Amino acid sequence: MDKFTLTERAKLRVPLGGQEIELQQIDYAVGGMSLLRLRIREGKRFTVFDIDPATARQWGEEMIRWAQDQDQDQDQDQTQGGEQP
């Protein structure tokens, strides 16, 4: 029996830099704990984080907040006649 099962959640590629980001769900057979694994590949190097649901939620909310702030900044630039990147 396997100690855990791995389920692919998403794969992303960062347009600037070309890093590959994989999100995988890890479900442990003993204890029933689930974690989210983030694998970031940059060339031959990997960075791996296994995070709990509370940390994933906080991280995700901060990322959404940051993206929304960027959208608002771009909207303000457009209404003020600024150039869009």
d(CA 80, CA 85): 14
Nearest-angstrom CA–CA distance, 85 and 83 = 6
Residue 84 lies in a domain: no
pLDDT at 31: 86
Residue 85 lies in a domain: no
Which pLDDT belongs to residue 84?
A: 52
Residues 36 and 10: beta-carbon distance below 8 Å: no
Q: Is residue 15 part of a domain?
A: yes
In a domain, 36, yes or no: yes
- DSSP string covering 53-81: HHHHHHHHHHHHHHHHHHHHHHHHHHHTT
As for how many domains the chain has, the answer is: 1
Q: Across residues 16-45, what is the average pLDDT?
A: 95
Which domain does 31 fall in, by range?
4-79
pTM: 0.76
